Amino acid sequence: MLSFAFEGVTSLTDRPLKMISGLGGFLMLASIVALLWMLIAGSRADAAVWLGVSLWFLGGLILLCLGVVGQYVGKIYLETKHRPRYLVREYLHS
């Protein structure tokens, strides 16, 4: 049943792809804010903190890139369904 639910969510909308892009952007922004806070506060952070911030940034960048590529693939998928455009045109002009 979970596979049917996953198929239903992913085949009808591109919202999960937008959420992935948003999560990537949020992670990148959070890592930049954390980096600026560490620099402004002047605290001497050890290597583990710098590693964590850089991993958050790179993880956010990867998620953002995957979300953008996924949105392109989603748009290509919607265009290849070959749904007739004349139905929309007739509905709008009637």
Whole-structure pTM value: 0.70
Please tell me what DSSP assigns to residue 69: H
Identify the CA nearest to 61 among candidates 16, 30, 89, 93.
Answer: 30
Structure confidence by residue, pLDDT tens digits, 25-60: 999 999 999 888 888 887 777 888 889 899 999 999
Helix axes of 47-79 and 15-41: crossing angle, nearest 10 degrees: 160
Radius of gyration (Cα) for the chain, nearest Å? Answer: 21
In the chain, domain spans:
14-93
Identify the CA nearest to 65 among candidates 21, 12, 8, 15.
Answer: 21
Query: How many CA atoms within 13 Å lie on the side-chain side of 11?
Result: 7
How does residue 91 score in pLDDT terms, banded at 50, 70 and 90?
low
Instruction: Answer for the pair 63, 29: CB distance below 8 angstroms, yes or no.
Output: no
Q: Phi, psi at residue 88, to the nearest 5°?
A: -65, -45
